[in-house]
Amino acid sequence: MKILIAGGSGLLGQALQMDLEDKGHEIRILSRSTPAKKGYFHWNPSEQHIDPNAFDSIDAVINLVGASISEGRWTAKRRKVLIESRVKSTQFLIQAIEQYAPKLAVYIGGAAVGIYQDTGEQAFDEQAPIGNDFMSTLAQQWEQAHQQIKRLSSTRMVIFRIGVVLTLNGGAYPVLKKNMILGIAPNFGKRVYYPIVHIDDVCTAFEWALSQKNATGIYNLCAPKPAHHLEVFKWISQTSWKPYIPIPVPKFALRIAMGEQSNIVTRSLRILPQRLLAEGFVFQYTDVKNVIKDLEQA
C-alpha cells in the first residue's frame, strides 16, 4: 500500500514508518520543515499549504498530528497550540484529501484515551464515560475533526484512542525509569490505573486496521490488562534491579502545582481494548510485566 503519514516526525510516526516499510509498504511523510529526503512532502496547515504530489495514487492516510500535551505548562497560549495542532491541522488535511484523493480507501486517526473521565478501579471499554475537563475536551474536538472524513463515502475510517505508549526511544518510559535511578516512585493511591501499551503492539494494530476491511469506527488501543501505576515501578525495579521507595503524593498537591495538567499522571484510566479483542486482534504484550520485560531486555 501507498500510505501517507501526517505527524510522521513524532515518536509513534517514526516507529510506524519503520515498521510499515519493513512490511513492504511505500510510506510518504508530510513534513512542516523543508523536505530533504525522498518520500517527504512539505505542508504547513497554519498557512493552508500542502504539496499535492503527496497524494498521488495513495491508498491510506494515517493522521497523528498534534503537539505534546506533556510539554510545557497549559497556559492559554499553550492550550491554543494543543487545540490548533490537532483540530485545525486535521481539518486542513481532510480538505486536502477531498481535493486530491477523493477515492481514498482508508483513513486512520490517532486519538487519546484521555477522552475518558477518571474510571477509578472500575474497568471500562469504548463505552466508558467521557470527561469534561480540558484533556477530555481536547480529545473530543480532535475526534470530531477526524469524523469529517465521513464526507467521503468511499473512505473507511478507523480512530484509535491510544493509551500510554511505552518504548525506550522516548515518551513516558524514560521519564518513569529516571525516577527509579533516584530510588523513588510517586504513589497516588490504590485507585490509579494507567492504560499502558507496547509500541510494537501499537504499530501492529495500525497495520491490522489497514488490512482488515471490516475494521471501522473507534477502538481503544491499550494492553488488555491496565496497570496499577505502582505496578509500573514494581516491574521496572524487578527487571532492572533498581530498588525504590513509594512516596505518597496527594493529588490535591499536584493539582495546586500543575492545575489540570496534573490529570496526565493522576487520572485513573482502567480502559480495555474490547473492540480490538472482539474482532480478533492479538496483543503480543498483554500486561505491564511483559511490556517492561521486553523493553529491559532490548
- Burial-class residue 163 by CB neighbours within 10 Å (0-12, 13-18, 19+): buried
User: Stretch 201-222: mean pLDDT, rounded?
Assistant: 97
Mean pLDDT, range 11-27, rounded to an integer: 95
Residues in contact with 19: Cβ distance below 8 Å, sequence separation at least 6, in sequence order? 200, 203, 204, 207
Q: Which of 23-37, 219-233, 279-293 has the lowest mean pLDDT?
A: 23-37
Annotated domain spans of the chain = 2-297
* pLDDT, tens only, 220-239: 999 999 999 888 888 888 87
pLDDT in tens, 171-205: 888 877 776 776 777 888 888 999 999 999 999 99
Contacts 24+ apart (CB under 8 A), 32-41: none
In terms of pTM, does the model score above 0.85? yes
Which residues are CB-neighbours of 68 under 8 A, at least 6 positions away? Answer: none
193-206 in b/e burial notation, b at 16+ Cβ within 10 A?
bbbbbbbbbbbbbb
Question: 2-297 in CATH: which number?
Answer: 3.40.50.720
Average pLDDT, the chain: 92
pLDDT score, position 205: 98
- The pLDDT of residue 223 is 97
- Per residue in 92-145, pLDDT (tens digit) is 999 999 999 999 999 999 999 999 999 999 999 999 999 999 999 999 999 999
Closest CA to 106 of 219, 4, 220: 4
